[in-house]
Structure 1
Amino acid sequence: MEMKAMGPHLAIPVIEPTQVGEARRAAARLTLEMGFDELSAGRAALVVTELGTNLARHAKDGMLLLGCTANDAGGTLEILSLDHGPGITDLRQSLADGHSTGGSPGTGLGAVRRLANDFHIFSLPGNGTAIVARIHAKPATAGAFTHGQGQGQTFSVGGICIPAPGETVCGDSWAVRMNGSKARVMVADGLGHGPQAAEASQAATQVFATANGAPHAVLERAHALMRSTRGAAVAIAELDATANSLLFAGAGNIAGRLLSGVDDRTLMSQHGTLGVQVRKLADASYPWPDHAMVVLHSDGITSRWNIDGARGILQQDPTLIAGWLLRSGLRGRDDATVVVIKRAREQGA
């Protein structure tokens, strides 16, 4: 079973032009660390500059997120642009190469789409925009895993994890294991935030990486091995694309939702903290409708989010969906993680 544990994204608020330079320098540092060649690093810098310039000029409460994914292609820089701005009335026109409303360096979103190896956008007039652009260090090989969909994969998965304001490490973590028609996703939220919270959530990730059995059995094993940490809220969802079923087990305040265009079901965790105290754990079974996606998130995201008026987001790239939900529900005072998983064929263009 293939296991991928995802590191946190670097979050950079962009509300005025000097912050664009900060984001560009951060991207240069990350691409250097991942071994990007000069051409690919230059493309990444242009994409970050273009998206940041758009935020500074046109958006409200804009934010750039930069994340690194290691894969067989040598690594990918994932760039998200999130805002609460006026939205884009005519996406087709805005994506035309050379179209720019502010004379930006890359001449518009069309340039971003052309420069990126992978590009997704969702916007609602009057309600803001979310954009995902990915730049590969070198051409992706078949089946290379990214925060989206690799060739031949059954599942499409994406997530965002950002530390609490003022922290340099994230007390949340998430990971996914995939094997043919089955996948498991875990989200862990260490108590509090900072290094000790990160230690607790990473301990849960290490157990998840190797432990087999039902989700509740994995949590029980993690509980026993996490007693030396401060503890964490942890939840695991196991999806079976052949049986159209979902098993879910959780302890603490990791929220789970099973969401389609017609249904919105809460996945129930029990009270407790792994490594500290939990009652007897058990799996809950749910049908997994063909077009439904699963969302797991920590309490850094409000549980009262909804997609009313934005149901077109359901057909989008899972990281784009995660970004839209984070943009809408971020509390702004704790670590925050959102993970989205669905069948690969449901990914939007």
Structure 2
Amino acid sequence: MGDPSRVGEARRYAADLAQRLDFDAIQRGRLAVAVNELGNNLLRHARGGRLLLAARAMDGGVAIELLSIDDGPGMGDLQACMRDGFSTGGSAGQGLGAVQRLADDFDIHTRAGEGTLILARFFRDRDAGGGPVRHRNGFEVGAICVPAPGEQVSGDGWDVAVVESRVDLVMADGLGHGPDAAEAAMAALAAFDSERGALPGNYVERSHAALRGTRGAAVGALRLDAAAGRIRFAGAGNIIGRVISGVADRTLLTQSGTAGLQMRSVQEQELEWPPHAQVILHSDGVQSRWQLADPGVLQRDPALVAAYVFWKFSRGRDDATVVVVRRTDN
């Protein structure tokens, strides 16, 4: 984000999105200030900065997430940078502290010399006291889905369903990128929507039939059972899963093939889901053999974890999607 006019463009887009989703005037105003502060922060300090904005269903309601990603100098003293009045760029130094106060959820990851990730989340529905309405279900889900450079739509898609102590998660990566790839991904998600409750292997087989007539897609499906502490996984094509914590790291690989075109008989994998392990599913827009240089990032909000994986390991030439699921104490 090297052009000051892009901050205004982002602010107008955010205002339009929030209005279409029936956010009230107070929340729209808070979101606009956050976009302005983070956008200007990128202009002043960032190298290769991005400001990403997305709406998603979350905690039984709707939220708008704002993500700032930059390869700038990072923050050597985060606490000092968060204090009002602190500035390294000649500004009033109100930016990060103001965004933290305005957002319903705020998280940040930074390392000196590496760059900074910032998440600000705004919920639509408010309680009588003006606070965000949440309906916790025992899981946290974070995601990032970014189209290939030069494209307006992503050829990737994902969806999640939470039922009691279980999460069903699917991801589809339409072949290539652009509108035709997006059409294939949407067909795969429509199959998931019509087959809620199907086991991963059954879903992948049904998506194979649903995608005939499209260009086809790589698909992956997970069932995460917190009560049993088990994971079931199936897929075709380059969708990759990781089960990762500070002490464990297991990879889930799909079999070869393309749903809608050619696919062998589906085989499910099953493995343990350790209590503190997070499950990360991503498309092949992200490198397949990545390692976290800073495992401490796993303690951050799942949306920030997903953004970190994209930030550090995106191939930079294709659609890229990362979804992170972890259990909470509820």
- TM-score range for the pair, normalised by the shorter chain length: over 0.9
Cα distance in structure 1, aligned partners of 2:12 and 2:314: 25
Superposed displacement of residue 106, structure 1: 7.4
- The match for 1:268 is 253
- The match for 2:238 is 253
Matched, 1:18 2:2: no
- For residue 154 of structure 1, the aligned residue among 127, 132, 138 is 138
Superposed displacement of residue 120, structure 1: 0.8
CA contact (8 A) 1:64 1:81 kept: yes
Superposed displacement of residue 104, structure 1: 4.4
CA contact (8 A) 2:277 2:326 kept: yes
Superposition TM-score, scaled by structure 1 size = 0.88
Aligned partner of 1:340: which letter? V
Aligned partner of 2:281: which letter? L
Any idea what SS the aligned residue of 1:307 has?
coil
Cα distance in structure 2, aligned partners of 1:18 and 1:44: 18
- For residue 39 of structure 2, the aligned residue among 47, 52, 55 is 52
Superposed displacement of residue 89, structure 1: 1.3
Any idea what SS the aligned residue of 1:132 has?
strand
CA contact (8 A) 2:156 2:172 kept: yes
- The match for 1:4 is none
Give per-residue Cα distances to partners, 1:89-142, cap 9 Å, x unaligned.
11212222343333547712111000111111111111111111012334269x
CA separation of 1:105/1:272 partners in 2, compared to 1, >3 Å: closer, same or farther?
farther
Aligned partner of 1:323: which letter? A
Cα distance in structure 2, aligned partners of 1:78 and 1:94: 22
Superposition TM-score, scaled by structure 2 size = 0.93
- For residue 302 of structure 1, the aligned residue among 283, 287, 291 is 287
CA contact (8 A) 2:85 2:92 kept: no
- The match for 1:314 is 298
CA contact (8 A) 2:59 2:135 kept: no
CA separation of 1:157/1:21 partners in 2, compared to 1, >3 Å: closer, same or farther?
same
CA contact (8 A) 1:322 1:339 kept: yes
Percent same amino acid among aligned pairs? Answer: 51
Any idea what SS the aligned residue of 2:76 has?
coil
Aligned pairs, number: 327
Q: Which moved more, 1:242-251 or 1:73-82?
A: 73-82
Aligned partner of 1:202: which letter? M
Give the root-mean-square deviation of aligned CA atoms.
2.2
- The match for 1:327 is 311
Q: Which moved more, 1:106-115 or 1:272-281?
A: 106-115
Aligned partner of 1:296: which letter? L
CA contact (8 A) 2:156 2:320 kept: yes
Any idea what SS the aligned residue of 2:208 has?
helix
- The match for 2:200 is 215
CA separation of 1:73/1:232 partners in 2, compared to 1, >3 Å: closer, same or farther?
closer
Q: Which moved more, 1:25-34 or 1:293-302?
A: 25-34
CA separation of 1:297/1:85 partners in 2, compared to 1, >3 Å: closer, same or farther?
same
CA contact (8 A) 1:50 1:106 kept: no
Give per-residue Cα distances to partners, 1:253-274, cap 9 Å, x unaligned.
0111111101211102100000
